[in-house]
């Protein structure tokens, strides 16, 4: 079978962060291995995903040229990955290698996997003092804490690309969870992380990543709240201010629990000045002395 492409997943500057490349196609593509599967899933299986810094969307739909049987296999694998992502998110558990190994013979996955250890010897006279060795998977899992590892996959079908990424995530004990802002899946080893690194899609805040978008949105909501509160306290009856504050407290309580698009929209709609500055409302008017 002719090789389709290669997947290379490697550490960035000897940190715990990973970057990945697809080579062997018409162009080299750099991407984040923690986001590519959720991106493809969110696009209903279309091979469209963000590049590494989320500055552009990469599409390999036309390059891959699926044959009918490959497309059928591809969607079957994607369905299995969807199931594993949902289970991981629901149980807050890592993807286990034994689970994805069950998928390989069933879906006839053909990828070849080579884990690579990068060993640096400071006393070596050679430059750079780095050597690469291949190890069996069992040894990789045992020595992960003492060596940095890169991963190389040979892929013979589009399904292999999906399976290779999932295999890497399982070896490194990643879990899937949904972003509290955009609602999309991402892989992480830290379930306390609330927001993914994608850019927000909420109107007016698209230039910020999800974390900073939520931060600015909450600030803007508070500013609107203060302006309306001050106006109501100066020009309207006390009951109107009390109603406003009560409803605002309930909405922001939900927003603090989950700053998703729906809760944000409710807050901004509630803070529409036309809703509170009504001409037919009883207003407090100062009396002039004669």
Which tokens hold the place of 89? 């998110």
Q: What is the mean pLDDT of the chain?
A: 83
Q: Could you tell me if 39 and 161 lie in one domain?
A: yes
In this structure, the answer to whether residues 174 and 224 fall within a common structural domain is no
Q: With bands split at pLDDT 50, 70 and 90, how would you rate the model's confidence at 131? A: very low
Question: What confidence tens digit (pLDDT) does each residue in 14-29 have?
Answer: 778 899 999 988 778 8
In a domain, 282, yes or no: no
Is the domain of 151 the same as that of 80? yes
The predicted-structure confidence for 222-237, as pLDDT tens digits, reads as follows 999 999 999 888 887 8
Q: Is 196 within the bounds of a domain?
A: no
Q: Band the pLDDT of 289: cuts 50, 70, 90.
A: very low
- Same domain, residue pair 69 and 171: yes
The pLDDT score that the predictor gives to residue 137 is 57
Residue 172 lies in a domain: yes
State which of 129, 156, 188 marks the end of a domain: 188
Range 101-107, long-range pairs (CB < 8 A, 24+ positions): 103/77, 103/163, 104/163, 106/80, 107/73, 107/76, 107/77, 107/80, 107/159, 107/163
Average pLDDT over residues 179-185: 97
Same domain, 137 and 23: yes
- Residues 220, 136 share a domain: no
Answer whether 259's CB lies under 8 Å from 265's CB.
no
The answer to whether 232 touches 245, Cβ cutoff 8 Å, is no
Q: What is the C-alpha to C-alpha distance for residues 271 and 265, in angstroms, rounded to an integer?
A: 10
Tell me the residue ranges of DSSP E strands in the chain: 5-11, 18-23, 29-31, 48-50, 57-59, 112-120, 130-134, 148-155, 175-178, 185-188
pLDDT tens digits, residue range 56-87? Answer: 888 888 788 777 788 888 888 889 899 999 99
| pLDDT higher than threshold 50 for residue 130 | no
Lowest mean pLDDT, pick from 75-79, 101-105, 246-250? 101-105
Residues 177 and 236 in one domain: no
Tokens encoding 129:
């003092």
Do 76 and 171 lie in one domain? The reply is: yes
Query: Do 127 and 246 fall into the same domain?
Result: no
In a domain, 195, yes or no: no
- The pLDDT value given to residue 288: 41
Give residue 59's pLDDT: 87
Domain hosting residue 45, numbered range: 5-188
Count of residues making up the chain: 290
Q: What share of the chain is helix, strand, coil (3-state, %, to 5)?
A: 45, 20, 35
281 domain residue, yes or no = no
Token pair of 16 as six digits: 């715990």
Are residues 160 and 59 part of one domain?
A: yes
CA-to-CA separations, 177 to 1, 31, 174, 290, in angstroms, rounded: 36, 19, 10, 69
Residues 167 and 223 grouped into a single domain: no
In the chain, the number of structural domains is 2
Same domain, 151 and 10: yes
Q: b/e map of 243-259 (b: 16 or more CB within 10 Å)?
A: ebeeebeebbeebeeeb
**Is the residue at 289 inside a domain?**
no
Give the mean model confidence (pLDDT) for residues 113-129: 55
Residue 99's pLDDT band (cuts 50, 70, 90): confident
* Domain-embedded: residue 236: yes
- DSSP assignment of 32-57, as one string? -TTTHHHHHHHTTT-SEEE-TTSSSE
- Tell me the pLDDT band of 112, cut-offs 50, 70 and 90: confident
């Amino acid at each position: 079978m002719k090789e389709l492409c290669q997947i290379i997943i490697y550490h960035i500057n000897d940190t715990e962060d990973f970057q990945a490349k697809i080579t062997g196609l018409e162009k080299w593509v750099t991407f984040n291995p923690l986001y590519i599967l959720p991106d493809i899933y969110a696009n209903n299986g279309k091979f469209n995903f963000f590049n590494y810094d989320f500055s552009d969307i990469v599409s390999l739909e036309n390059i891959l040229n699926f044959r009918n049987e490959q497309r059928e296999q591809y969607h079957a694998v994607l369905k299995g990955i969807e199931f594993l992502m949902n289970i991981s998110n629901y149980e807050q558990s890592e993807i286990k290698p034994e689970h994805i190994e069950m998928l390989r013979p069933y879906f006839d996955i053909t990828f070849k996997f080579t884990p690579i250890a990068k060993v640096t010897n400071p006393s070596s006279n050679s430059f750079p003092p780095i050597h690469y060795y291949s190890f069996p998977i069992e040894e990789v899992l045992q020595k992960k804490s003492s060596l940095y590892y890169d991963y190389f996959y040979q892929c013979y079908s589009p399904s292999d690309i999906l399976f290779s990424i999932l295999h890497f995530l399982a070896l490194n004990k990643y879990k899937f969870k949904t972003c509290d802002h955009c609602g999309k899946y991402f892989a992480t080893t830290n379930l306390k992380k609330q927001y993914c690194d994608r850019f927000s899609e909420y109107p007016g805040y698209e230039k910020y990543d999800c974390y900073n978008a939520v931060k600015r949105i909450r600030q803007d909501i508070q500013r609107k709240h203060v302006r309306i509160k001050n106006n109501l306290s100066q020009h309207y009856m006390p009951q109107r201010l009390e109603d406003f504050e009560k409803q605002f407290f309930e909405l922001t309580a939900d927003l603090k629990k989950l700053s998703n698009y729906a809760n944000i929209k409710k807050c901004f709609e509630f803070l529409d000045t036309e809703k509170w500055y009504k001409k037919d409302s009883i207003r407090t008017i100062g009396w002039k002395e004669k």
